[in-house]
Amino acid sequence: MKAFFPQGHTVVIALDNKPMYLLPLDKDRTVSVEGPIGKTTIEIRNSRVRVLDSPCKNKLCVRQGWIERGALVCLPNRVAVTIDNGKETGNTVDAVTG
């Protein structure tokens, strides 16, 4: 899996596929994003990130726990959290579509 999700240093928090926050992975903080069904709270700590709380019914995004690479998604609230290397390449391949 490390080949698909290289280690990054920037946390990108997006709502409806529009970046809301670009945050350093190495600075601890908690932020909230207001989505269509309520507030999703994201925590960055010890160079990891997690969805701390979300208004979605099943809380799958919360149950994913801490990540150091890759992505967390709350589909019902349209919030995506990804760890990025901060470089725009234009010819990246994602793990879903290959």
- Strands (E) across 1-98 are located at 10-15, 18-24, 29-35, 38-45, 48-53, 70-74, 79-84
pLDDT recorded at residue 86: 65
Whether residue 96 is contained in a domain is answered as no
Answer whether residue 94 is part of any domain: no
Cα dist from 22 to 9, 46, 58, 67, 82, whole Å:
10, 17, 27, 16, 10
Nearest to 43 by CA among 54, 26, 61, 28: 28
Question: What is the C-alpha to C-alpha distance for residues 36 and 78, in angstroms, rounded to an integer?
Answer: 7
Alpha carbons 52 and 21: distance in angstroms, whole number: 16
How many domains does the chain fold into?
1
Nearest to 75 by CA among 21, 49, 44, 36: 36
pTM of the predicted model as reported, rounded to 2 decimal places: 0.80
CATH code, domain with 78: 2.60.320.10
**DSSP state, 50?**
E
The first and second tokens of residue 91, run together, are 């010819």
> Where does the pLDDT of residue 5 fall: very low under 50, low under 70, confident under 90, or very high at 90 and above?
low
For residue 24, the enclosing domain spans 10-84
- 73-91 pLDDT tens trace: 999 999 999 998 765 444 3
